[in-house]
Every structure is written in structure tokens, then in C-alpha cells.
Amino acid sequence: STNCDAEGNYEIALLTGVRYRVAAKHPNYAQMSATRQHNGEGTQNFVLNEGGYSLIVKIGELKVAEGEMPFVEVSLKDAQGQLHRPRGEPFLMPGLSNALTFSSLPSGVYTLHCPAGAYQAITKTINIGGEKTATVTLDLIAAATIEFSFSNANVSPMQITTAHATWENLSTGEKNSRVSVLDVIMNMGNPTKTYRVRGLSEGEWKITLEVPGFQPYVETYRVKAGETQKVTVQLAE
């Protein structure tokens, strides 16, 4: 129902025995969602809690490595692990979309995360509930990229697209593997038989690249932030 009575109530008519989900969002109240079973008797009530806080996430215009898309993925989770979505798409792009707005947030502690991609990964803890609208600016650092080309004549674009990479920082012990949707898109849309490992901070990294049909390729590389290092490898069958 989209009709609201004089007291600010919405009424939704349901069939008997229906299992339903209600989601409500209002700028002056905390976002609410719940799943219930209606047995056809009586009225089930939902009350919106006071809240309605907003968070604005901003970035500046930053340089990215050669061949990179300067997208910044952003996720926001509350203390219970619930993911909150911003208005519009959940990513930023310097020069085009420099701010995201999360609205109808209840007060509490939130975790803001940007996975590694064109920029190094960043995680921030934010307390919501003081000011009505909070603003946070992300100081992102351009990441390094290693672009692998393959001299094997029998390796196909599909094999490269479905390859799996892991990388370990030899100084800090940090380990990562491909988790970003944008990383996958970067490789799927690439017809030149190259594979990119992205989001690397400056330093020495051990890269393990597993291409279906070939033995794992393992090598160590030293990279600089904001640069793309291009490498040609011969995969062992």
C-alpha cells in the first residue's frame, strides 16, 4: 500500500497464510525490515524507531595505475553485520561520482570498507548517532597492478578469465585472493589474453597464479604504488 492515514499509518492488506517481508525507509527514522507470517487474524504492527541518520562518503580525484578503471567500491555494515546500501550505485568514481549517501541509518557503530582494486583496500570504523548527517572523506592510495601476458599459444581467453590468483606481502604477511567483482569484470572484458592482479601496496609480493589446464605459476615481484608492471610468462603444462 502507498496510502498513509492522518495519523501516519500505512495499511497493507494480505491474504490468509501469506509469509511476507516489510521494509520501510523514511529520512527521519531508522530503516526497518522484517519477515512475518500472517494467519489471517488480527493486525500485525510495525513501529519505526527514531533514527534517520545519514552518512556521506567522499573521495578526491586520485591517480590510478595505467589501464585501471578508477572505481571505488564501498560497503557499509552495522554491528550486526547487516549491509546497508547507498542511494544509487555502491561505488564512487573520481571526477564523476565523488560522494555516496547512506540514509535512514539507526545510531550505532558501522564498518566502512573499500576492497582493493584501483586503490589499496581501506577499512574505517564510524560512530553514527551524534550529528544528523555525518561525513567521512576517504584518503585512498593508488594501488599497484601486475598485468600478466602469456606466451603459450594454447591458452584461451576463457582459461584466463577463470584463473585464480593469490598474493602474499613478504614483509607484512598480508594474504589476498580475487574477491572484487570489478576485478572479474576487468579480466572478462579483456580479449588480449592478459590477467591483472590489482590492489597491491608498495613492496614485495609473492604471486601464485592458477590457470585451468596448466601448473600453478609462482613468482615474486617488487611493485610501486600507482604503477602497472607488465610481465610475460610461459605456463608449464
Predicted confidence at residue 47, as pLDDT, reads 62
Residue 120's domain comprises 53-138
**Within a domain: 192:** yes
Predicted confidence at residue 180, as pLDDT, reads 44
Task: Say if residue 203 is in the same domain as residue 169.
Answer: yes
Grid cell in block for residue 206: 609473492
pLDDT < 70: residue spans in the chain: 1-34, 36, 38-51, 61-67, 94-97, 178-192
For the entire predicted model, the pTM comes to 0.64
Backbone angles phi, psi at 41, to 5 degrees: -120, 130
Predicted confidence at residue 92, as pLDDT, reads 81
Task: Say if residue 151 is in the same domain as residue 86.
Answer: no
3 state DSSP class of 222: strand
Grid cell in block for residue 137: 572523506
Q: Which of residues 94, 120, 138 is at a domain's end? A: 138
Task: Say if residue 83 is in the same domain as residue 158.
Answer: no
Task: Say if residue 111 is in the same domain as residue 61.
Answer: yes
For the chain, how far is it from start to end, CA to CA, in angstroms? 62
Q: Is 182 within 8 Å of 89 (Cβ atoms)?
A: no
Range 194-221 burial, b when 16+ CB lie within 10 A, else e? bbbbbbbbbbebebebebeebeebeeeb
Diameter of the chain by CA atoms?
A: 73
State the DSSP H helix or E strand holding residue 160, giving kind and residue range, or none if neither.
helix 157-161
Predicted confidence at residue 181, as pLDDT, reads 44
**Within a domain: 29:** no
Beta strands in the chain (DSSP E): 18-24, 32-38, 53-59, 72-73, 75-78, 83-84, 91-92, 99-105, 108-114, 122-128, 133-138, 144-150, 164-169, 175-177, 194-200, 203-210, 217-223, 228-233
Predicted confidence at residue 121, as pLDDT, reads 86
Contacts of residue 46, defined as CB under 8 A and 6 or more positions apart, other chains included, come to 22, 24, 32, 34
Per the structure, how many domains does the chain have?
2
Predicted confidence at residue 194, as pLDDT, reads 80
